[in-house]
Every structure is written in structure tokens, then in C-alpha cells.
Chains A and B, each alone.
Chain A
Amino acid sequence: MVTANASLTSLTAQRARRVAEGVPDPELPMLTLADLGVLRGVEVTDDGTVVASLTPTYSGCPAMAEMRADVASRLRAAGFERVEIRTELDPPWTTDWITPTGRRKLGEHGIAPPGPARRRPAGPVPLELSVSRRAVACPRCGSADTEETSRFASTSCKALWRCRACLEPFEYVKEI
């Protein structure tokens, strides 16, 4: 009986996870919250409450309240009555959590995906005074002849780049 309940809970959790994983990001709607790596977990507690954990991309991400509401309403619409959304701040979100599918979708929509985030050694964060910018391939024509125009763009997680080959500007999800 205990085993039966346990497997029932795990089936419920699987279904809840599938629902939560399908919720699109409000700013990058071609990506799901799972693709973006902000959905940190979906559990079902003993009393049947679905607990979904989300982490903000940046501290000031204005879409956080919307993400919470979206996940909760999708889960309720899928028949889960008791839903709880938790915020997880630790460990902080990193672009390394964007899934391979997420990276592919970004590229398909003209946004260059991030490279691997720099792993910093413990201690003070080093400053970069020499120009050691990353090579970012143009998501439209594939050329590596690109340049950064601004490290900040329409949302916190992106930088603005320009392709010198096809002359198109493009956005780039910067590593963090």
C-alpha cells in the first residue's frame, strides 16, 4: 500500500513536472521555463500539494511575478488543486542551466546563445582591462566577424551585438 501510494505520488509528480516544464518564458516565449533553467524542481508533498521552485535570472527580473502566476495557473488548469510556488535564490541562476534545446531555439530566433559561464576562483572577482571579448557567431549568417555594441540590451540577460559580415544587429544571451 505504501509502495502503491509512493508510485502514485511519483506519477503525479511526473505529470505536474511535464505541465510546469511546458510553461513559456514571458520575455522569451519560444523557450519554456525549463529550457531557460529557471524551473528548479517540481515535487508533490504528502498532502498532494504540488510545489514548484523557480529561480530569478537577475535580481531585478520584472518577469518573476508573472512566471510564478503562469506556473500556478497552468498547474491549476491541469487539475492540480493545491499549488505552491517557491523562490529559490541559492545557488544563483547561471546561463549554463539553459538546456541544449533552449540554446537551439534561441539561435533559431536570431538570438545568439551564451557560451559557458566563467568559473571564478574563490576570492575577489578579477577585472578585465584588456579586450578579451568572446567570439560570438552571428545567429543569422553564421559569420564569426561580429562585435559587441553594448553589454546591456532589451532585457537584463542579453547584450547587443552587430555582425560585420551581414551588417545585422542581434542580441546575445550573455554568460552569467
Chain B
Amino acid sequence: MSDDHVYLSLAEGHDDGDARWAFGTGFEDPLHGVDTTVPDGVDVGELTGRCLALADDALVGAQRLAQWCTRAPELEEEVALANIGLDLLGQARLLYARVGQADGTGRGEDAYAYFRDPGDFRNVRLAELPNGDFAFSTVRLLVLSCWRLAVFGRLATAAEDPVLAAVAAKGVNELAYHRQFAADWTLRLGDGTEESHRRMVAALREVAPYLGELLGAEPGFGIDAESVRDEVTEVLGQVLDAAGLTLPDSGTLAGSGRDGDHTVHLAPLLAELQSVARAHPEATW
């Protein structure tokens, strides 16, 4: 091992796909060695469309959570938000990898995360809105994790694709922790000081118009949208009741991120996320 250049020497002798010398330098297919055959009878368009939407929700959500680093009210909360983001990023990577296998293009996860434009993204708009204050981020996380947990719980058994079903089953355990985190903070802030309560009320007012986009769309694979809506509404109701809060009646915003309609906030988020990959396409280091 040469001492001339510490990084070069670390990389020496690890040419055979060996990513051991540092994290983040040799990301390989997260579905490495998984049987990737799409079973007969699975509608490829539906599979890739659903996976892409779920992956985009997770990637964009993870990016927003990561933006709390160095800005969260307490170090413990910063670590928690980063951990939740990391789980979502992992789910996004698995889902993007699945899309690339199933759509026949063989594209890797990076093609979807870094080389698509805002109009190609299928995440709900709620995921892309700026972080706002901690109350807004808490309410958003509560809503998104309630919905995702309800959908993943059903996909784990309903998805005819075994890879998506496995990704969902794994995600359920993680999402249960995310939802619990958001619920705990909703209680603490809603039932906290006058100021924290006021901020939670304001956050709910901002989030409510985006609920329709999340709950209105069909989850696919024969999953009953009504049952997802009921579960989300019930859990949200339980948490908000206990926190002394109510979901305001509000109209639903027109359009949907699921069709590629986004707010002005998605493009700058993606520009930041994609800048290095686009400046140095296919670079490895």
C-alpha cells in the first residue's frame, strides 16, 4: 500500500466492484442478486408507474428532511430527521432499481434520481413544499407517513410483484417508527405552549389542501382507495384529538403531482440534488 496519497492507497486493490474503502463511492445496485423477473400477469406499466411515484415521494421527502441538518431545534431531532430521511432514501433506491429492471431499459437508480426533469417527477406536492417551521415539517411528516404506512401495509400482501411486496413489507417497520415520531411531536406541540399550539394550527391549515391529492388517487394493485383513506383519516383523527387539534375543512387544490403538476418549489430542490451528477455525468470517484 503506497503512502503517497492516502485516498489512492485506500482505493488500491479494490477494483473488483469492492466498495469497502469508503461509503458513497461505489454505490451498486441495491437489488444486487435479487431475482428480478417480472411475474406473468403483472402489468409492467402499472408496476413502474406505482414504483416511480412511491420512489419520488421518498426521494423528495428525504431531501427535505436532510435540509433540517444543522437547523433542527435539538441535536436529537436532527439525528432523527436524518435517520428518517435515510430510510426513505433507501426505499427510493430499491424502488428506482425495480423500475429500471421492470421497464426493460436496464437503467440504474441514478438515471431516475438525477437525470429526470421536474415535470417527470410523480411525487405528491406536499412532499416538495419547503420545510417551513418545525410544526409544518412535523404535520407533513405525520400525514405522509400515515399514508405511506397504510399503502405499504397493503402492498406487502397485494402487490403481485414480489420485489415491490418485499420492499413494502420491509418499509412498514420503518414507517411505523416515522409515524410514531411525528405523532409524538404532534402531541407535544399541539398540547404544549400557546405558541406551539398556534403554530400547529397554522401548519394544519397549510397541509390540509394537499390531502386530497394524496388520498384521492387510486393506490393500484386492486387496493381499495377507500380503505386507505379510512385508515389515514382515523389515525390522523386519533393523534389530532389527543393533541387538542382538529383538521380544518378546506378545499382541495386542483392538479396533482402524480400527473407531473408541481409547485415552483420542486425545480430548485432538484437543481440542488442533481447538480453534481449533471455537472459530471457518469463520474466515479
Contacts and interface: CB of A to CB of B under 8 A. Distances in A.
Interface of A: 26, 53, 56, 58-66, 68-70, 72-73, 84-94, 123-125, 127-129, 149-154, 156, 160, 174, 176
A59 B26 contact: no
B-side interface mostly? helix
B207 interface: no
Given A65-B28, A125-B172, A150-B77, A59 B20 contact: no
Interface on chain A toward B: helix, strand, loop, or mixed SS? loop
Contact of A125 (B91, B149, B181): B149
Contact of A152 (B18, B33, B94, B181): B181
Nearest to B152: A125
A93 to B, nearest CB: 8
Given A73-B20, A90-B162, A59 B170 contact: yes
Interface in B166-188: 166-167, 169-174, 176-177, 179-181, 183, 187
A44 B20 CA distance: 24
6 contacts: A64-B30, A70-B20, A124-B235, A151-B177, A151-B180, A160-B76
Nearest to B90: A60
Given A92-B173, A128-B180, A59 B167 contact: yes
Given A59-B174, A60-B88, A124-B231, A150 B79 contact: yes
Contacts of A123: 153
Nearest to A122: B157
Contact of A90 (B18, B80, B165, B239): B165
Contacts of B250: none
Nearest to B81: A152
Contacts of A68: 19, 28, 32
Contacts of B169: 89-92
B41 interface: no
A148 to B, nearest CB: 10
Contacts of A60: 86-91, 93
A164 to B, nearest CB: 17
Contacts of A128: 180
Contacts of B30: 64, 87
Given A59-B90, A68-B32, A85-B33, A152 B84 contact: yes
Which among A88, A125, A156 has the highest number of chain B CB atoms within 10 Å? A125
B170 A92 contact: yes
Contacts of B132: none
Closest 5 CB pairs of A and B: A60-B90, A59-B90, A86-B33, A150-B76, A90-B166
Contacts of A89: 34, 94, 163, 166-167, 169-170
Contacts of A69: 14, 17-20, 26
Interface in B12-33: 14, 17-20, 23-24, 26-28, 30-33
Contacts of B33: 53, 84-87
Contact of A87 (B19, B24, B34): B34
Given A84-B33, A92-B173, A127-B179, 12 more contacts: A58-B87, A59-B91, A60-B88, A73-B20, A88-B34, A90-B170, A93-B170, A129-B239, A151-B181, A154-B79, A160-B76, A176-B174
A90 B166 CA distance: 5
B242 interface: yes
B246 interface: no
Given A59-B87, A69-B18, A153-B79, A127 B239 contact: yes
A124 to B, nearest CB: 5
A69 B33 CA distance: 13
A56 B87 CA distance: 11
Contacts of A86: 32-34
Nearest to A118: B176
Contacts of B99: none
A65 B167 CA distance: 17
B235 A85 contact: no
A147 to B, nearest CB: 12
